[in-house]
Structures are given as structure tokens and as C-alpha cells.
Structure 1
Amino acid sequence: MTPEDVPLPMTEPTTPLAEARGLAIRLPGGPVLLPPTDLTLAPGTVTALTGPSGSGKTTLLRALAGALPPRAEVAAGTLTVLGHDVLRLPAAELRALRRHRIAHVGQDPASALNPRMRVRRIVTELAGTADAGTAARLLAECRLDPRDGLLERRPGALSGGQQRRVALARALARAPEVLLLDEPTAGLDHRLRDEIADLLRELATARHIGVLLTCHDPGLVDRCADHAVALTSPHHPAPRAATPEPAAPAIRAATAPSSTAPRSGGLTARGLRVTFDRRRTGRPALADVDFTAPAGTTTALIGASGSGKTTLLRVLAGLRRPDGGTLTLAGAPLPTVNRKRTGEQRRGIQLVPQNPLGCLNPARTVGAIVARPLTLHRTVPAAAVPGRVARLLEDVGLSADHAHRRPAELSGGQRQRVALARALAPGPEVLLCDEITSALDPDTAHSVMRLLARIQAAHGLTVVLVSHELHLVAAYADTVHLLDGGRVTHHGPTADVLDAALPGRR
């Protein structure tokens, strides 16, 4: 199906930096990854690729960088970037083009940031200089404060939003002519989204470069894009609904706990403290945080990017040792380090990370990835594993055929749903979700949240949800904790916190 080119404010005609005509990409004998698509990218403009998860946005972006998914092939059409057929360039010429003229920032920026490097070296590695001033200038351009000890931190000490902006600063260091960005504002709050949108607009104009981005956020498109190309997918299943679903607010009301009689059990934290770079800045990521997620409810963590939400989630998952504080699960002490937890405790608490690519084994098929926790925790007989895998994929809106594909052959939204299916596989009591809907289109995001609400209603699942999408928080969360600078400043019933702390929310 040919996508619709939606014109926004007009730009002067000029020689295209990139051009696709009827470009179609598919796996041999398998699914179509990109339907026939037309695209023109001109200097000084911003073009947005929109459409549902799995419609081919990430595939097209990778094709422009000369990097098709494994086994993928061009089924029809042509693609030219900076005067070259990038999909047929010799390896040495393609490397030179990527190094000097094309920059690509993927949907999972953490996977491209060397975890052993400090931010200063990460940013300047491609700039040909190790000058701290250059790194500070690029970070500031991407709305990061280099005075906050950021230059000396490693990626693991950054929030997801900070990692995304460091990756953008690294891309800008090479002064590219074509800048390719996959969901550049996923996981960022609305204020930062608007700042990054304005930055992209300024970059395109001031540097006279072509910016191509993928996104599900109409606010970002309206704010910075000159043109939008809407991709559609003929094979886009929605998460399965076994029974008719009520509207979102009705689901929340049906599962909300009584404010006068809170349920027992659940997950609690008391006095959590985490400090990054203790020998340098001593900046607290969490400062004496108390947290409660009552059993069978959805508790949301909200706040600006870098406020400590992901750090708190990693502490709850046992992946980040706190400097102080305690955890309790269902009234019993819970070790703060995952390896000290019992097998039942590890099964009972599952994490869906913000950036799933780094936690999905690239050598394994989707079916093997989802099946692993089933066999590890022995939750179903071996003979029933394939059927259970197919059902889990169907639950999150993926067909059974996806079981034979590998993570690199999936879109960012599809990878996010695989990570969710894997986390649900062992039947956890607590599900920790870090921006699980940020890479999904609005319809799929609501479908995923309705899925969690159904599981919650049927099995008493406790959900802890990190999100900047306040409309989803308002619809599905029972209680909210608002973090600011590593501290919980407000907590309580969702409507009360949102109305009191964020009266101008969008």
C-alpha cells in the first residue's frame, strides 16, 4: 500500500539529499517490511515518518543508512542518498559515507553507547578532538547541562532520556548532511519534547541539513516537520481481546483500590538512596525515597526526564544496588540485589525496559526469547511451550509468524511488545514497565494497557508504570508518585496528584 505524503509548510525546491521511489523491502519468502514508498528529503527541511508500529518506519530509516535488516532485500523501487545507491555501495565507500555525511540515531540509543566510556569521550570520539569544551557545547545544544558532572558519567548512570540526547550530541559531532532519528523524543517529557523539536528545526535551518525522523507523536510533527509521510501496514494486528472491553476509565475504576481500605501486600520501598559519581559531584539520583505499589493495582511514576524514575525501577528490579534503604514484597523482606533473591522472587518481579534491543539476544529467534522464561521457571510443561509462546505473542499484538524472526528484523515497537510478552511469560505478580508505550502508536498503546488491565483484573497483577504519557496515566493508573530531582514530591490517588501537582498537564 502506498503511503500518503502529507504536505506541511512549503519549502523551496532544491536538489534532494535522499530520494526513494516505490521502494519496497521484504524478507525472502516472508513478510513485507516496507510497502512501496515514495520519499524526498531536501536540505534545510525536517521530514517525519508516521504510522503504526510495524509499518516500516525503522526499516526505511535503516535503508537510508545503507543497513537493511538481516536477510531483507529490496523487492521493488529505487533509493538514492547523497547521489549514491547506498544499498549497493562497496563496503569502504559506505563506511566513509556513514562516518562523514550520514548520522543515524536508533530507537535504542543505549545500545550504541559504549558502557565503559565516559560521556565526554562518547560525544567527541567522532569529532576528531577530545576537547571537553566541544563536548560541553554539543551537550548544551542537546539540552543537557554539562556542569552537572555529566561529562564524567558513563551511560549506565544516565536516564533513558539523557542517553537519547547524548546519542544525538554524538551524531551532531560529525556535522552530517543527513540526520536520521528513530523516535528521538521517546521517553522524554513534553517540555523536553518541545525543546528537541525546536532544536531539530534549528539544526535543519542553520546547518542546511536534511532531518528525517520517525515518531508517533503528532505534537512533535506539528512543531518541527516540513513534511510528513504516513506509512500504513496491511498486517498490523492489535493485541487480542478475548472479551468486549470497557472504556479505559471504566477499567481503572473497576480495579482501583478503596482509599479507606488499601489492599495488603504489594511492593514497598523505604528510604532508598542512590548517588552517582560519589567521588566527584555526589549528585543524588534517589534521595530517601519511599514508595508503595499496593497489590493488584497500577502505580505510575511520573516526572521530568532525569528525575530518577528509571533508577527507582531498576532498584525495585534488583538491577541497581541502592546506597541505602529497604524493599518489601508481600510483607516479606526483599533483597535489593537480584542475585540474592530466590527463584520465586525473581519469577514474581519482571521488568520491561525502555530500550528492549539491548536485552533481547540478537542470535535467538523471538520464539526462543519468549520461551526461555517458561522453561527457566518451569511454568508450563515442555510440550505446551510452543502454544504458550504463540498465545503470548498474540496477546501483545504480534502474529505467531513473528516467532521465527530475530530482534534485528523487527521494528522498535515490535521489539517492545516482544519484551512485554517475555516479561508476562512466567506469570509474574509484579510487572515493572519503563515507558513501554513510548514506541507504540496510540491505538496499540491503549491496547497494551487494556491487556495489562485484563491480566490485573483476572490475576491481581501489580503494575508499576513509568510514563510521560499523562493521558495513559490518568486512564489506567490507580495511584501516582511524582519525582523531582530524585525525591518523591507528591503521591496519592491519580486524579488528586495530577490535579494538584500538574494542573496544566497536556
Structure 2
Amino acid sequence: MGSLVEVSNLTVVAGDATLVDALSFSIRPGEVLALIGESGSGKTTTALALMGYARHGCRIAAGQVRIDDIDVLKLGASQLRSLRGRKVAYIAQSAAASFNPSRTILDQVVEPATMHGTLSRPAAELKAIALFRELALPDPEGIGARYPHQVSGGQLQRLMAAMALITDPDVVILDEPTTALDVTTQIEVLRAFKRVVRERQVTAVYVSHDLAVVAQMADHILVLRGGCMQELASTDRVLAQPAHEYTRELLAAARPAARDSGHVSGSTQALLEISGVSAGYGARDAQGRPQVCILQDIGLRLERGQAVGVIGESGSGKTTLARAVAGLLAPSAGTIRFDGQALSPTLAQRSKDELRRIQIVFQSADTALNPSQTIESILARPLQFYRGLKGAALQRRIAELLDLVKLPANLAGRLPAGLSGGQKQRVNLARALAAEPELLLCDEVTSALDTVVGAAVLDLIAELRRELGLSILFISHDLHTVRAVCDEIVVMRHGCKLAQVARADYDRGPHHPYYEQLARAVPELRRGWLEELDLPRPVLVA
């Protein structure tokens, strides 16, 4: 059974900055409370404080956190170690970064139970297998023998849930557990999480920026902004009658609207032409075919000033296509032409101007930005390399780029670790724009962003297209987002192009069954959608 959680006047600071400001709330046993807000609102900071933990450079300055009769903030180090993973368990956003790649999955899942002494190793293994089955994982008896890289992202996220639940905790914190997953995988994970939370009657805290997901999971919603509570009410009340203007902004941002790019269709001027492209990884055979083939005979055309979306679930080949266009992966067959000229297959063979004209914005800003360089240094490098800027002109352009992506100029001196996830992604975008490209390859650029920041980035992309005539290849697993941004949509699965749909036909069918499946898998902003959803079995590649 779950525990009663009571938080009173919780205050968390970092130097002179207040991250969480005198926050008070309670969660009844067996209930799910969602913490909602944009990046930097204090969601994760609040959730971690429930375990008596503050991240490096932060400290819990005041307040009280009680779990049943335990005063968490008065516990010593050894008592906190006993609490964490036993009484309170944490499921992180990135399972891939949380597992040890050199140890088997089973070794890591049973570790909390053996460390806390709740189960013997044989009993823990039996319980782990039962949890694998409860979480609808394939091959529950055998999956534990694999290593983290041998399972999918959605499976790894559920395996992390098994690790958290093996000690039968009373409180579970789920910190953006489906943010990095494609929509069809997200459905599987949400269903598994909801079933387990309900059946075990644990008290849960669900941290998210996605109101549509929260609508399926939470009993109550606490809306945060700048570390301050804006609203706390039942999920039904927040969705139907939001009391605070900021909550209404979040709800509006959660419903993607079409962005007017000013692009006029019918142009015959192709900026990018991809013909018969195949690509993969590993050693090539005598015919030049890679050991692992990801893309198979892909063709598409992108006009100057146009945005073409590429959608598909994980493993469909979307990112591999972007990497081939960017020169990061040489195609094994086919041609890629840019502005009428054939592109060399690799970065090393391309001219400096070709490199400048095609820029890629990677999905994960955490791995794309050098952690040891300031934001100023990160933005200065492309400006110096492509434009030869220095001195006052360089500083002025850095300030303009930060303003362009809606970031304050005083962030320039910070390291990436001092920025929120949304801020880092906007730096990632600003760095690509520094080269003044003609084609921007956007690889899941809003998947890790909160709804407000994500909507702002989509608006910015539409604005750049209008003002600069920028062309976009927009990769995503979220069909609603792609429809809001793009003039045409290419549907991919298992490395093959299944269909291409023009904006005029978005609301006219019939479309390919897989396109319809992806459309239905995007969570709707209403209660009960998850229970009503009945996705068909995976369709075969046509």
C-alpha cells in the first residue's frame, strides 16, 4: 500500500537563486500527483526533495517532507540510504543513461532488493521475472540475461520500473519516464505503469511537461512555474476549468496549431533530391551492402523554403536518413543532390560552403553540447569558422542568436550543466543557425521539451522559414507536431518509405494504415483516452 506524503513550505536554493519557493502539498496513499510546468519550473527538484536529495550546487534550505511518520529532511546519511530505493523509489527519464552497460539487466534489477536485504538473490530473481511479466516485457524468463544495449528504449524504461518496484516501495517517483519514447512505444509503457501503480496501490509522483500524458496517469495536478505553485486541483478540474492563466497557456500549447510558413506550393525548384538511397552500418560486402541495412531505396524531394516531415517509430530509419543527408553516414546506394549538385557522401569530402549550407540539430542537447565549454564559446565556434567573426562583431552576433531562440543574454557565460533541458535545446538550435544554413535537419528537436518551449520552437521554425526562406527536413515520431509544421509528410517504417501525404490531404483519407496508427497513438488531452485506445496489430510493410 502507498504512504501519505506531506510537504510543507519546501524551499530549495542554488546560491542566491530560489528553485522551489515555499511549496506545500499532500498526496493520499495510492494516489498519483502530477508535477507539471515548463523546463526550469522546479518539477524534478521538488520530486528529488521527497527523497531528501538536492542536486550538486543546490540545497534544501527550509520546509518539511513527511512520508507517513518519517521526517525525511531530518534523516542522516545512512538513514537516507535506507529510505531511497526501499521506502521511496525513483524512475529516471533516461533509462539508457541509468543502466550499467557492462552488467546484465537481471543483475541490476535485483540489486536494490539484495542491497536493502529485503530478498535473497534467488528470491529476488524470481520476483524480477514476475515483475517483467507484470510489466508486459517479452520473454520474461530470458530478458534478464541480456545487456542494456540489447533491448529497446521502451523495454529498458519498463525494466527500470521493475528495478524500482522490486523492493515494494510505498512511494514511486516517475520523472518524465516516456519523454524520449516514440508514440507507439509510449502507449505500451504508460499502460504498464498505470496498471502496476493501480494494482499495487503505491503513492506516485509523475513529473512531466506533457499534459496529455498526465491526463491519463494522474488523480491531481500541481502546476509549477519558477518554483512557485500556480494551481493544485483534481485532473478533471484542471483540464476542464483551469484557474490560473499559466495553466491555460499550458493547455493551449498542448494542442498543436498549424504554423503558417508562408511557403507556396507548386514550386519546381528542388533544394534537396534523394533518389534510391540505401544506408546502414557495419562492414560492407563485395556489392557494397552494409552488414546492417537501415534505409532501403528511399526517395524524396524538398523544395526551397519547404518543410517536409519524416515520421515513424524508433528504428524506422528517420535519423539515419538525416545523418546521410548531413554527411555523417555515407549511403551504400543512391544519390543525394543539393541545389542541383550531387553531394559528396562524407563530411570530409564536402566543401566548407556545403557544410555551412546544411546544418543538423540533434535530438539530445545533453550529448550535442560540449559540457566543458560556455554557451558563448559553443556559439562562437561556427561564427568564427564560417563567418570569420571576432571581437565586438562576434559578441553582437552571439547576443542576436540568443535573442533569436528566446534566451537571455546573461546565459552566455554559463556551462550547459547550468541550463534546463529546454534551454540547452535552444542553444543547440542557435548553434545550427549561426552558420546561416539553407537546409536545417531537425531530428526530434521538440521531443524532450515542455509544451510551452516546444510550441515556441515550432513558432520560431515557422518564423525562420518566412523570413529567411529556410528549408526544413523535420524528423519526429509525433504526427500532430509534424502536421503543425510541415507542408508534406513522409511515412517510414523498417527503413522503407510507406507513403507521402501533402498538407491539403492531412484531413482527407484514406491514408496508409500505419499513418493512421501513428495518428491514433498521440495522446489526447482528455481523461480515459488510454483506456479507450485500441491500436491494431502492427501492419506489414507495403
TM category, shorter = 0.7 to 0.9
- Within 2, Cα distance between the matches of 1:348 and 1:150? 46
- Structure 1 window deviating more from structure 2 (431-440 vs 495-504): it is 495-504
Specify the alignment match of 1:406 in structure 2: 415
- Structure 1 window deviating more from structure 2 (197-206 vs 383-392): it is 383-392
- Within 1, Cα distance between the matches of 2:74 and 2:479? 45
TM-score (norm 2): 0.73
TM alignment of 1:124-203, pairs within 5 A: 124-128=107-111, 155=149, 162-163=152-153, 165-174=155-164, 175=166, 177=169, 178-203=171-196
Specify the alignment match of 2:15 in structure 1: 28
* Alpha-carbon contact 1:25-1:76 (below 8 Å) kept: yes
For residues 194-220 of structure 1, the C-alpha deviation after alignment (integer angstroms, 9 at most, x for no partner) is: 332222111213344333222232222
Q: Indicate the SS of the match to 2:445.
A: coil
- Paired amino acid for 1:125: Q
Q: Are residue 419 (structure 1) and residue 405 (structure 2) matched?
A: no
Specify the alignment match of 2:278 in structure 1: 272
- Within 1, Cα distance between the matches of 2:274 and 2:53? 45
Specify the alignment match of 1:490 in structure 2: 499
Displacement of 1:102: 4.7
- Paired amino acid for 2:198: T
Specify the alignment match of 2:59 in structure 1: 73
Specify the alignment match of 2:380 in structure 1: 371
TM alignment of 1:81-96, pairs within 5 A: 94=80
Q: Are residue 205 (structure 1) and residue 192 (structure 2) matched?
A: no
Q: Are residue 60 (structure 1) and residue 46 (structure 2) matched?
A: yes
Displacement of 1:477: 0.3
Q: Over the residues paired in the alignment, what is the CA RMSD in angstroms?
A: 4.1
* Alpha-carbon contact 2:271-2:338 (below 8 Å) kept: yes
Specify the alignment match of 2:538 in structure 1: none
Specify the alignment match of 1:242 in structure 2: none
Q: Are residue 231 (structure 1) and residue 221 (structure 2) matched?
A: no
- Within 1, Cα distance between the matches of 2:443 and 2:52? 31
For residues 298-334 of structure 1, the C-alpha deviation after alignment (integer angstroms, 9 at most, x for no partner) is: 1111123432323333333344455544433323333
* Alpha-carbon contact 2:483-2:506 (below 8 Å) kept: no
Larger radius of gyration: 2
- Within 1, Cα distance between the matches of 2:388 and 2:488? 31
- Within 1, Cα distance between the matches of 2:282 and 2:28? 43
Q: Indicate the SS of the match to 1:449.
A: helix
TM alignment of 1:467-486, pairs within 5 A: 467-486=476-495
Q: Indicate the SS of the match to 2:34.
A: strand
**Is the alpha carbon distance of 1:181 and 1:284 closer, same or farther for their aligned partners in structure 2, counting shifts above 3 Å?**
farther
Displacement of 1:424: 1.9
For residues 112-157 of structure 1, the C-alpha deviation after alignment (integer angstroms, 9 at most, x for no partner) is: 455x65xx825643425899999988777666656999986874x9
* Alpha-carbon contact 1:272-1:287 (below 8 Å) kept: yes
Q: Are residue 360 (structure 1) and residue 347 (structure 2) matched?
A: no
* Alpha-carbon contact 1:274-1:324 (below 8 Å) kept: no
Q: Indicate the SS of the match to 2:270.
A: coil
Specify the alignment match of 2:294 in structure 1: 285
- Structure 1 window deviating more from structure 2 (261-270 vs 421-430): it is 261-270
Q: Indicate the SS of the match to 2:426.
A: helix
- Within 1, Cα distance between the matches of 2:374 and 2:94? 19
**Is the alpha carbon distance of 1:250 and 1:306 closer, same or farther for their aligned partners in structure 2, counting shifts above 3 Å?**
closer
* Alpha-carbon contact 2:278-2:293 (below 8 Å) kept: no
- Paired amino acid for 2:466: A
- Paired amino acid for 1:127: V
Q: 1:311 aligns with which of 320, 329, 339?
A: 320
Displacement of 1:379: 5.0
- Paired amino acid for 2:279: R
* Alpha-carbon contact 2:40-2:226 (below 8 Å) kept: yes
- Within 2, Cα distance between the matches of 1:369 and 1:297? 28
Specify the alignment match of 1:15 in structure 2: 3
**Is the alpha carbon distance of 1:456 and 1:110 closer, same or farther for their aligned partners in structure 2, counting shifts above 3 Å?**
farther
Higher relative contact order (CA 8 A, sep 6+): 1
**Is the alpha carbon distance of 1:263 and 1:38 closer, same or farther for their aligned partners in structure 2, counting shifts above 3 Å?**
farther
Displacement of 1:61: 3.2
Task: For structure 2, list consecutive stretches of 5 or more residues without a partner in the other structure.
Answer: 112-120, 229-244, 247-255, 286-290, 521-542
How many residues are treated as equivalent by the alignment? Answer: 471
Displacement of 1:251: 1.6
* Alpha-carbon contact 1:267-1:329 (below 8 Å) kept: yes
Q: 1:430 aligns with which of 405, 430, 439?
A: 439
Aligned sequence identity (%): 33
- Within 1, Cα distance between the matches of 2:80 and 2:350? 48
Q: 2:403 aligns with which of 389, 394, 399?
A: 394
* Alpha-carbon contact 1:59-1:411 (below 8 Å) kept: no
* Alpha-carbon contact 1:54-1:411 (below 8 Å) kept: yes
Displacement of 1:222: 1.9
- Within 1, Cα distance between the matches of 2:20 and 2:146? 41
- Within 1, Cα distance between the matches of 2:284 and 2:51? 40
* Alpha-carbon contact 1:198-1:223 (below 8 Å) kept: no
**Is the alpha carbon distance of 1:498 and 1:335 closer, same or farther for their aligned partners in structure 2, counting shifts above 3 Å?**
farther
- Within 1, Cα distance between the matches of 2:331 and 2:297? 10
- Within 1, Cα distance between the matches of 2:343 and 2:144? 32
**Is the alpha carbon distance of 1:19 and 1:346 closer, same or farther for their aligned partners in structure 2, counting shifts above 3 Å?**
farther
Q: Indicate the SS of the match to 1:398.
A: coil
For residues 46-85 of structure 1, the C-alpha deviation after alignment (integer angstroms, 9 at most, x for no partner) is: 3211122321223323444555343223344233568767
* Alpha-carbon contact 1:270-1:291 (below 8 Å) kept: no
- Within 2, Cα distance between the matches of 1:224 and 1:146? 27
* Alpha-carbon contact 1:136-1:151 (below 8 Å) kept: no
- Paired amino acid for 2:485: Y
Q: Indicate the SS of the match to 1:419.
A: helix
Q: 1:257 aligns with which of 260, 265, 270?
A: 265
**Is the alpha carbon distance of 1:378 and 1:276 closer, same or farther for their aligned partners in structure 2, counting shifts above 3 Å?**
same
- Structure 1 window deviating more from structure 2 (333-342 vs 383-392): it is 333-342
- Paired amino acid for 2:263: T
Q: Indicate the SS of the match to 2:354.
A: helix
Q: Indicate the SS of the match to 1:198.
A: helix
